[in-house]
Amino acid sequence: MAAAGDFPALFDAAVRAAPAGPALHYFDGTTSYRALDEQSDAFAAYLARKGLAEGDRMLVCLQNVPGFVIALLGAAKAGVITVPINPMYRERELNGLIADCAPSLLVCHPEFQAVADAAAFPADRRVIVRATDRQRENPPLLPREDAVADGAVLFDAITLASDGEPARPPNRDPGRPLLIVYTSGTTGKPKGVILSHANLCAGAAFYRRAAGLDGKDGVLAAAPLFHVTGLSGHIGAAIAGGCPLVLAYRFQSDVILAEIERHRPTFTVAAVTALSALIDCPSFARERIASLRALFSGGAPIPPALAERIGVATGLSLRNVYGLTETTAPVVATPDDAISPVDPASGALALGKPVAGSDVAVLAEDGDWAEPGEIGEIAVRGPSVFGAYWQKPDETAAAFRDGWFLTGDMGCRDAAGWLFLVDRKKDMIVASGFKIWPREVEDVLYGHPAVREAGVVGVPDAYRGETPKAFV
């Protein structure tokens, strides 16, 4: 049994259960759980040799490649905090993160080195992961760049060498930091969300239970691994279930369909836009995804018309889930024996009900519990909810009230306990004194068969003060 809230212990349990079983599929390459253990041990030993100590930060700027998982596990074993970042970041974003979290190491693809050079990140503090590593067929979407700056080291030179047992820190406190995941900055500058070992283990446990994962299953990495969904819903879910994780570098519909056919995963969680792109792919056919039996979607409200279209195309019941970077994993989900109802007043599809171990409340403007049907701010608490923002005590204090995390999302609950999301608190449009929620307008637009994606924002209006503007 894995130690409660310890990510390396959770992984050790998967290794012991099936050491020769597949842990990672990457096109035609497969890494077993035993090999993943050995390679992450080697990387942990490298971190110790480089002088990284417990609590130091390591940037991981990678697409969905095996090196991401190996680096995360190696850092966890060494007590180093992983800071996953978007490979699309440029010098400005990288400089901001360097100033905020002071990383001691950067793990990146060769093509990111120009950005690292512009940000003056030392070459001898870089580890280079090639997109073509750990596979042989070299599909067209993989970059062929393999140049390495003087002083940098190749990831394979570290992880494919045997370095013996790494120095593992004695600290097994489940509350110790495992990750710093930066928010998208919808309310200002991105904030570093500190996620603990206990947070990720709780998130992984949710996905294992909700999707019924075990060693006979497989998890498709449809979301980016640098996103919290990829961390808990892909990496965490696969390890908790002791099953393989299917990686395909980045989301490209035709490639994803081919890898589903090849490796036959049974579960994925993805943004509704990705699922829409998948079923709209010219080569899509239901039989190509026949192995999938559980399909979750989160990251944005799902328009009922789009949920129905995805369900008809895939033959699967799309399970709505709700969470944020700060909650690690969903805190609300559609129960597996239910279908999310549609709110007759707003036309919104219900997010679901609180998952086991999590509490959800809707707070009225006066701070009291909102009545059924009354719109208020969604507040949550539970084992997957973070404890603090990195070096931002004031923002942390403002985000909590009596132990409840204030999400900034507006919603309501019906008498049966179903939670409905209305919109972001700061996105509300006030036109002629009337409150308009962009998502309500977006749902109407999605009801038209010619609309694939839609977004609504408030813009200044001389007469109304604000008025909605739609982008279709």
SS3 assignment, position 331? coil
- The pLDDT value recorded for residue 463 is 38
Contacts of 135 (CB under 8 A, 6+ apart): 26, 27, 28, 29
SS3 assignment, position 76? helix
- The pLDDT value recorded for residue 202 is 98
Taking the C-alpha atoms of 88, 93, 94 and 97 in order, what is their torsion angle to the nearest 10 degrees?
A: -130
E strands within 85-134?
Answer: 105-108, 126-128
Distance set, CA 401 to CA 128, 355, 372, 383, 397 (Å): 43, 21, 21, 16, 8
Q: Which runs of consecutive H residues, i.e. helices, occur in 347-409? A: 393-399
- The pLDDT value recorded for residue 2 is 46
Query: Which residue type sits at 222?
Result: A
Taking the C-alpha atoms of 277, 280, 283 and 289 in order, what is their torsion angle to the nearest 10 degrees?
A: 70
- The pLDDT value recorded for residue 349 is 83
DSSP 8-state assignment for residue 111: G
Domains of the chain: 7-419 (3.40.50.12780), 428-471 (3.30.300.30)
Please give the structure tokens belonging to residue 188. 């200002």
- The pLDDT value recorded for residue 249 is 98
Contacts of 195 (CB under 8 A, 6+ apart): 177, 178, 179, 180, 181, 228, 231, 328, 386
- The pLDDT value recorded for residue 37 is 96
Summarised one tens digit per residue, pLDDT across range 142-161 is 999 888 999 999 999 999 98
Please answer whether residues 236 and 204 qualify as being in contact, where contact means their C-beta atoms are separated by less than 8 angstroms. Answer: yes
Q: Write out residues in the chain with pLDDT < 50, as ranges.
A: 1-3, 430-435, 462-465
Please give the structure tokens belonging to residue 116. 């690292």
Please answer whether residues 331 and 351 qualify as being in contact, where contact means their C-beta atoms are separated by less than 8 angstroms. Answer: no
SS3 assignment, position 384? coil
Residue with tokens 């995941």: 181
Distance CA 121, CA 117 (A): 6
Distance CA 374, CA 303 (A): 21
Q: Is the C-alpha dihedral spanning 73, 35, 167, 44 positive or negative?
A: negative
- The pLDDT value recorded for residue 434 is 41
- The pLDDT value recorded for residue 460 is 55
Distance CA 395, CA 391 (A): 9
Distance CA 436, CA 429 (A): 5
Please answer whether residues 31 and 40 qualify as being in contact, where contact means their C-beta atoms are separated by less than 8 angstroms. Answer: no
Please answer whether residues 331 and 322 qualify as being in contact, where contact means their C-beta atoms are separated by less than 8 angstroms. Answer: yes
Distance CA 27, CA 263 (A): 9
Please answer whether residues 178 and 196 qualify as being in contact, where contact means their C-beta atoms are separated by less than 8 angstroms. Answer: yes
- The pLDDT value recorded for residue 161 is 82
Residue with tokens 């931002």: 392
HSE-CB at 282 with a 13 A cutoff on CA atoms is 0
- The pLDDT value recorded for residue 8 is 95
Please give the structure tokens belonging to residue 416. 């049966």
Q: What residues form DSSP beta bridges with 154?
A: 128
Report the largest interatomic distance among the alpha carbons of the chain, rounded to a whole angstrom: 72
Sequential DSSP letters for 410-470: EEEE-TT--EEEEEEGGG-EEETTEEE-HHHHHHHHHTSTT-S--EEEEEEETTTEEEEEE
Q: How far is CA 109 from the centre of its chain?
A: 20
Residue with tokens 């519990």: 369
Residue with tokens 């239910």: 338
User: CA-based angle 100:105:108, to the nearest 5?
Assistant: 100
Please give the structure tokens belonging to residue 155. 């990831």
